Chain A
Amino acid sequence: MNAVLRGQLLSIGRALAFVALALALCGGIFTLAGYSATSMFVNIAAGAVLAPHAFVHTLRWTMPLFLMALGVLLTFRFGYFNIGAQGQFYLGGIAAAFIADAWRAGPPLLAIPLTLLAGIAGGALWAFVPGLLRIRSGTDEVITTLMGNFIAALALVYVTSGPLKDPSGSGQVAAGRPVAAALRIATSSGVSFTLIAIVAVVGVLVWLLVDRTAFGILGSLAGRNPVMVRWQGAPSERIAMTAFLVSGGLAGLAGALELLGPSGRLVSGSAPTLGFGAVLIALVCGLSVPGAAIVAVFFGGLAAASLYLPVIAGLPAAAIDIINAAITLFITARAWPRMPRRAQRRRTLESAPQRERVAS
């Protein structure tokens, strides 16, 4: 057990070190672009926690990020690069908006669950197609899920400027009709008991699914070595498909909660970096469900800051994108750069037989 604990601590330490390295790189970029790195980081901290109500905003973004990260984490664990959480989030929102719009006068106790289910179904559908293509014919899911993101963004534009267009809306951004007030489960602050309860229950369920069922443990094994699991006779295709569907469903649920919660309506091009953030959370937490809850707060803070920066501090929100990107660049690193001299000799010599095993 001790070795495991040490291994975990080591990996957490390494993740933190690379996040620090990424932040240093960002500081360099900010300075190069003519901003003061210190004031940038201070303002980011203000936007995330220090400013009044900042933490509420952080929590508001933590919840969708957490849900989507759970989905990403599931497919990553099972060995698939589903990076289409953004598209699945949009599709979930769209499907939920149609139901919420059709049932605007329905009894909330029935209409709200139905809307959420529609969101789950929409997201799952958007993950079903890449999943099917991957499992049936081996089509690279990296490409299909990425393309799915672009198509979903266009679909959102279409829906908000077409079927669900808000006639009273004006301005540059197309937006859908507002959801009936009775169906809202949170105010625009985005934090309410219902919302937190739903997210917490889903988090526990996913944790059980991933860490405490035969499905989750076999799926994780398959993610590391699908061939071995096939030789055990596991229904690999069904496990993989389920992973894709659950993953898309979680992102879709986030989309539906966004609609019924803080947003209250569909907005085209809204929160365009949530999907990327979800991938990042999954990687930073080392694909652990409890870890994702903690890491999601950090990236929720960054998301809150990306709204704070341009509005309050007059700094570009792109700074947050850069921080996210730099962390992505480094987070999967497995080694420190080679040290010169003796250490270098050692590494070449160790790497030779390892790579050979991969090659042969």
Chain B
Amino acid sequence: MTAVACDDVSVAYGEVLALRNVSVAFERGRIHAVVGQNGAGKTTFARVCAGIVRPTTGRLAIDGREIRVGDVGAARLSGVELVHQSFALPPSFTVAEAMEFGSTRRTGPVYSRRALERRWRDHLASLDVAARPGDRIRDLPVETQQGVEIARALCSDARVLILDEPTAVLAPPAIERLFARIRRLRAAGVTVLVILHKIHEVLAVAETITVLRAGELVATLLPAAAMNAGDLAHAIVGSANVGATIDVPAPHAARDDKLPALELLGAATRATPDGPPLADVDLTVGHGEIVGIAGVEGNGQRTLVNAIAGLCALSAGRLNCGGRDLTRTSLLERRGHGLRIIPFERNVEGLSLSSALWQNWSARLLVAGRQLRLVDPQRLRGLCRSALERWSVRFASVDQPAGALSGGNAQKTIFAREIDDDAMLIVAAQPTRGLDIAATAFVWAALRAARERGCGVLVISSDLDELFDISDRVVVMLSGRIVGEFCAPYDLGAIGAAMTGASSAALTLATP
């Protein structure tokens, strides 16, 4: 018996085909994984199944009955619910309101707050979600928000639950708990479609594996028990050439390497909306060193980057770059001393998507120097063109808006702007998030090249595999504090424990 069946589904976004002729039928009562690289069409596929995206062509059947495509209401009535990667819960709502607004349960027209909270308390408890009905969504930690989103999806007898990249925001122990929850749901008769991109997670939870590559099915409903990691990796990546070489822009002038590129001494901040305040952070990044910051998202990584950038004042402690005390300086001065930032949000903090490429690229040059000086846009266009070509960005014209670039090319544009001869300390926050394998390899190569040139590099990532791959040292943050420091070979168990504060031994495990 099939739970969800797609027949010849294609989705076109403008010129781009996100899904091409996908036909697959998922059996009821099992855990199905849909895997693929970034940009392979996984999320689009999940949204088609949930009725949120209307396919250009193709049909969708649930429990053997065909339903109207692109109709959320029809899909939900048939018992299909989707848990989004970045959860679709209005932040100002209370947990109970977030459950109620999506509910299809029949109730009276008007509710009282108490009745509402009573109604959903049991439901939350039955699913083991650690949230009170009166809590506001925005105050909840990410893992709990995910629990609420799952509870919301299950509040109306969902028979098919689709989870879009549910592990991306979780620490290893929380991933284990999520998988346990998925298995309990399966035991209760729910069909689970889980979108994943990490091979070991797929093998840990799935019963069948379906692989998407560039919008096409390359493998359908493989039995997970019979798969090994190598074959699966080959199926996901295909024969794509992942090698990347980077021309180091220019030989780097010899630096005085005695003093570290970055030194935070006893740094502390006040609490911010982005996360907990920093407390007593000591962190050193030497020249020619890549230091990784590991941690569950929302444990002060953003505050750390803000503090290094000077966008969040230190309430205690000092910040030195190359031996100079920059504690009380603005970002502009820090940039003058060689600080470069690849920010968290590529499309918000990194680029102005609606502005021309040349303007985005010139921003760093324009900020330095007197504001009222005359500049020649034509010259800036030329400089931008040659810089982007040197970084092998694929672009049509320097006048095109930055939003027209793919994720990888957008990130390369930011690198082209930020990494120049004067760079001394590069802070790269989630530099490969959302990039495909080739672009990821490019970013890693660029960071390694910067290290070879003697820059200090600080990489913040929630992807431990990435950190293990490129870091010389890994530092773990928890609740705004540094709780452990590790050198290769990395011990996943110990780092995972430090990330969740599960073990106070984390501190003693740290190797100096």
Contacts and interface: CB of A to CB of B under 8 A. Distances in A.
B76 interface: no
A213 B362 CA distance: 12
A227 B306 CA distance: 12
B407 to A, nearest CB: 12
Given A212-B374, A225-B353, A349 B332 contact: no
Given A217-B359, A224-B354, A349-B13, A232 B367 contact: yes
A217 B400 CA distance: 16
B360 interface: yes
A221 B363 contact: yes
A218 B367 contact: yes
Nearest to B18: A353
A233 interface: yes
Contact of B375 (A217, A229, A235): A217
Interface in B53-79: 53-56, 70
Contact of B341 (A1, A231, A349): A231
A348 B70 contact: yes
Question: Interface size bucket, A side?
Answer: 35 or more
B350 A231 contact: yes
A61 B331 CA distance: 46
Contacts of A218: 363, 366-367, 371
B105 interface: no
B450 to A, nearest CB: 19
Contacts of A234: 332, 363, 366-367
A236 B400 CA distance: 25
A168 interface: no
B13 A353 contact: yes
A221 B377 contact: no
A228 B363 contact: yes
A125 B52 CA distance: 51
B397 interface: yes
B92 interface: no
B375 A228 contact: no
Contacts, number: 125
Contacts of B503: none
Interface string B359-401: 1101110110111111111000000000000000000110110
B366 A217 contact: yes
A233 to B, nearest CB: 4
B372 A215 contact: yes
B54 A345 contact: yes
A76 to B, nearest CB: 14
Nearest to A222: B352
Interface string A20-36: 00000000000000000
A342 to B, nearest CB: 10
Q: Is the interface of B mostly helix, strand, loop or mixed?
A: loop
A206 B332 CA distance: 26
Interface in B331-362: 331-332, 334-335, 341, 343, 345, 347-355, 359-360, 362
Nearest to B85: A360
Interface string A228-266: 111111110011000000000000000000000000000
Contacts of A231: 309, 311, 331, 341, 343, 349-350
A218 B86 CA distance: 31
A345 B56 contact: yes
Given A348-B54, A352-B47, A227 B349 contact: yes
Contact of B373 (A3, A213, A232): A213
B87 to A, nearest CB: 9
Given A212-B377, A214-B373, A352 B53 contact: yes
A194 B432 CA distance: 60
B14 interface: yes
A232 B375 contact: no
- Residue picked from A3, A214, A220, A235, most chain B C-beta under 10 Å: A214
B54 A228 contact: no
Nearest to A208: B374
22 contacts: A4-B399, A208-B374, A212-B374, A213-B371, A213-B372, A213-B373, A214-B371, A217-B375, A220-B355, A227-B349, A228-B351, A228-B352, A228-B360, A230-B311, A231-B331, A231-B343, A232-B363, A232-B364, A346-B56, A352-B47, A352-B54, A359-B88
7 closest cross-chain pairs (CB), A and B: A233-B331, A225-B352, A233-B332, A215-B371, A214-B366, A360-B86, A4-B399
Interface of B: 11-14, 44, 47, 52-56, 70, 86, 88, 309-311, 330-332, 334-335, 341, 343, 345, 347-355, 359-360, 362-364, 366-367, 369-377, 396-397, 399-400
Given A213-B371, A213-B375, A233-B334, 12 more contacts: A4-B397, A213-B373, A217-B377, A227-B348, A228-B352, A229-B363, A232-B364, A233-B309, A234-B332, A238-B371, A352-B54, A353-B53
